[in-house]
Chain A
Amino acid sequence: MQLVPYVVVIPLTAAFLIPLVGKKIKLAGEILSGAATFLLLAVSFLIASSVITHKVLVYKVGNWAPPAGIPMVVDGLSAFMLVTVNIVAFMAAVYAIDYVKKFTDTWKFYSLFMLMLSGINGVLIAGDIFNMYVLLEIAAISGYCLVAFGTGPDELEAAFKYAVMGIVASAFILLGIAFLYSYTSTLNMADMASVLAAKEPARVMQFVSVLFIMGFGLKAALVPFHAWLPYAHSSAPAPVSAMLSGVSIKVLGIYALTRILFNIFGMTPAISSILIALAVISMLAGSVLAFGQSDIKRLFAYSSISQIGYIALGLAIATPLSLLGALFHLFNHSLAKSLLFLNSGSIERMTGTRDMNKMSGVLSTSPVVGYTGLVGAFSICGMPPLGGFWSKLIIILACLQAGHPVLAFIAILASVLTLAYYFKALSPVLFGRGRRDLNVAAGKRISFAMAAPVVILACLSIVSVAMLLPNPANVLLKDAVAILSSGKDYAGNIMGAFK
C-alpha cells in the first residue's frame, strides 16, 4: 500500500472533521486529534522502515508523470524528520487535552493544530517547490492563528508581529521561486536540480540563494531574522509553543533551506560562509539575550535561537560528521525543547505565573515536572550522558576536523553560556525553598494527560544516544546524512524512483 500521501491526508481529514462534529459532540476534538496524531506516528514509523529498505518512496498525485504533476517524495532525510515531527506532535496533542480546557471553543484549537501539522508534514514530503511553498503557508498561517488563540493583548500583539514578518518572508520565498522558475522552466525539485546541473552557474542563482536564505532564515529564526520568535513562542499556548519551537522552525526553516541548498543548488563555499556567519551570531546572541529574561517561556525561546544556531553551524560546515551532529542535535533539541515548553505550561498552571522570580521549589511541589524539566534542561545544556551532549560534541569535533578551531571555540563558549543561563534561571525555580504562598497558588495539580507526555519525552531524551550506536540503530540518522552529503545526486535518485 502506498503510505506517503497519508501523512497529509490523515491530519487534513481530522482538521476538517473536527469543525463538523466539534460543536455537537463533546470531546470530539480531543478524540479525533489524539487518534489522528497516533495514526500519524504509526504511519511515519512504517514509512521510515520502508525507506530503509527502498531508499526513496514516491507518489504521483493524479498519476501525472514527472516533471508535470505534483510528486510526493520521501527519502532518508524526510523520513527522519517525519519521525521527529510526529513524536512531538503526538505528545503535544496528548498534553493539549488537559491544557486547552482553559479556553472556550476548544474544537477550533484542535482543528488549527491539525491544519498546522498537515502543513508541516506536507513540507517534508513535497517534491515540488511550489507545493512546498503552499504547505509551508498552511503551516505558517495556522501557526499565526494558534499564537493568537488566547486573544489576550499579549497574544494578539505577538501574533500580529509574527504574522507580518512571516508573510513578508513568504513573499521573498515566492519571489525566489518565480526567479527559479523563469531560469529553469520547471517546478519539480528533482527536475530543477538536473536542469541546474546542466546549466552554467549564473549570477541569478546567487540572488535566488540570498532570497531563500532571507525567507527561510526568518522562518528558522536565525539572527538577525529572529525578532518574532521570543514574542510568538512565549505568548502561544504551551502545546503550540512546543510545536513551534520543537518542529516548526526546524521544518519550515532549516529543513526547507537545506533541501533547496544542498539537493537542488548544491552547496558553494560562499553560501556556506554566509550560513556559518548567521549560525555563529545566532548561537552567541541567543545565549547572551537569554541571560536577562525573567519570563520562563521567553528564556526557552531565546535558547531555541541559540540551539538553531548549532544546527545551522553543523549544516553549513557540510562534512558528513558535522551533518550527523546537526541532524542529531535537531532531534535532541526537538525532544528537549518541546518537553521544556510543555513543562512551562504545567508550571504556569501550578503557580499562575510565568515570571521566574515569583516561583520556587517546583521540584518538591511536583516531582514529575521538576525531574523531567531537569532532564530537558540538561539535554539542552549538553550534560553527559544525555543526547544533547553527544550532538554538541560531534558538532565541535566536526568543526575541528574541518579545520575551523575558532568555530569550535565559539561552539564551546555558547555551550558554556547555555549552561550558565539555564543554571542561573532554573536553579531557584527548581530547587528554591520557601514562599509556599506562591507555590501551587490555585491548588492545581498536574493531571495524567499533562504528565505522561513529558515523562515519555524525558525518557526519549535519555535514550536518544542509542541512535548513534552502530547498525542497525543508526540507520535512520545515517540515511538522512547520506542524502545531504550526496548533494546533487538527489535528482538522479528521485528521477530513478519515478520510473
Chain B
Amino acid sequence: MITYILCLVLFSIGLYCVLRKRNIIKIIIGIGILEYAVNLFFILVGYRTQARSPISATDQLIGHMVDPLPQAVVLTSIVIGLSATLVLIAMGIRIYERYGTFDITKINKLKG
C-alpha cells in the first residue's frame, strides 16, 4: 500500500511543479515527473511480490510470474512521454530565441 501512496506523492509533486513553477525548463521537468509517476503506478499494478519475470517455460506456473502486459504498455508510454518531452524542449528553445527568457509569466503576448 505504501508504494501506491508514494506513487501518488510523486504524481502530486509533478503536478505541483507544472502548476507553480515559472521557469519553462522546470515545467518540463515537472511533466517528466508526472509521466514517471503514472508509469511507475502502471508497473506496480502488474507487480506481484516474490514473482519472477514472465518467461514461458514448461515448468513455470503462471501464478509465479508478474503480469507482463503493464510492462509492454509502459514501454509504449515511455516512448510517448519521450516524444512529448522532446517537442516541449524544442519549443522551449525556440521560445528562448524569440523572447529571451524562460519565465512563463513574461511570455504573455496573447491575451483574452
Which positions in A face B, CB cutoff 8 Å?
130, 134, 137, 141, 144-145, 148, 151-154, 156-160, 163-164, 167-168, 170-171, 174-175, 178, 181-182, 187, 230-231, 234-235, 289, 292-293, 295, 298
In the complex, whether B24 has a CB less than 8 A from a CB of chain A is yes
Q: Give the Cβ gap from A144 to chain B, nearest Cβ, in Å.
A: 6
Q: Give the Cβ gap from B44 to chain A, nearest Cβ, in Å.
A: 9
- A167-B88 contact given A174-B77, A175-B11, CB 8 Å threshold: yes
In the complex, what residues of B have CB within 8 A of residue A174's CB? 38, 42, 77
Chain B residues 51-100 with CB under 8 Å of chain A are 69-70, 73, 76-77, 80, 83-84, 87-88, 91-92, 94-95, 98-99
In the complex, what residues of A have CB within 8 A of residue B27's CB? 164
In the complex, whether B6 has a CB less than 8 A from a CB of chain A is no
User: Between A and B, how many residue pairs show CB distances below 8 Å?
Assistant: 93
**16 A–B contacts from the bound complex (CB under 8 Å):** A156-B94, A157-B108, A157-B110, A159-B91, A163-B84, A163-B87, A167-B31, A167-B35, A167-B88, A171-B31, A171-B34, A171-B38, A178-B38, A178-B45, A181-B42, A181-B45
- CB pair A156 B15 closer than 8 Å: no
Task: Determine the interface band of chain B, counting residues with CB < 8 A from chain A.
Answer: 20 to 34
In the complex, what residues of A have CB within 8 A of residue B20's CB? none
Within 8 Å by CB of A175, from B41, B80, B84, lies: B41
- CB pair B95 A160 closer than 8 Å: yes
In the complex, what residues of B have CB within 8 A of residue A160's CB? 24, 88, 91-92, 95, 107
- CB pair B87 A164 closer than 8 Å: no
In the complex, what residues of B have CB within 8 A of residue A235's CB? 110
A31 to B103 alpha-carbon distance, docked (Å): 42
A366 to B18 alpha-carbon distance, docked (Å): 46
Question: Main SS of the interface on chain A?
Answer: helix
In the complex, what residues of B have CB within 8 A of residue A158's CB? 110
Within 8 Å by CB of A168, from B31, B76, B99, B110, lies: B31
- CB pair A134 B76 closer than 8 Å: yes
- A134-B80 contact given A171-B35, A182-B45, A231-B110, CB 8 Å threshold: yes
In the complex, what residues of B have CB within 8 A of residue A130's CB? 73, 76
In the complex, what residues of A have CB within 8 A of residue B69's CB? 181, 187
Q: Give the Cβ gap from B96 to chain A, nearest Cβ, in Å.
A: 10
Within 8 Å by CB of B95, from A157, A181, A293, lies: A157
- CB pair B110 A156 closer than 8 Å: no
A292 to B111 alpha-carbon distance, docked (Å): 11
Among residues of B, the one whose C-beta sits closest to the C-beta of A176 is B38
- CB pair B18 A145 closer than 8 Å: no
A328 to B74 alpha-carbon distance, docked (Å): 38
Within 8 Å by CB of B87, from A141, A153, A181, lies: A141
Among residues of B, the one whose C-beta sits closest to the C-beta of A301 is B112
A479 to B88 alpha-carbon distance, docked (Å): 41
Q: Which of B41, B94, B108, B112 has most A Cβ within 10 Å?
A: B112
- CB pair B42 A144 closer than 8 Å: no
In the complex, what residues of A have CB within 8 A of residue B35's CB? 167, 171
Among residues of B, the one whose C-beta sits closest to the C-beta of A294 is B112
Within 8 Å by CB of A151, from B18, B92, B94, lies: B94
- A154-B38 contact given A141-B87, A164-B31, CB 8 Å threshold: no
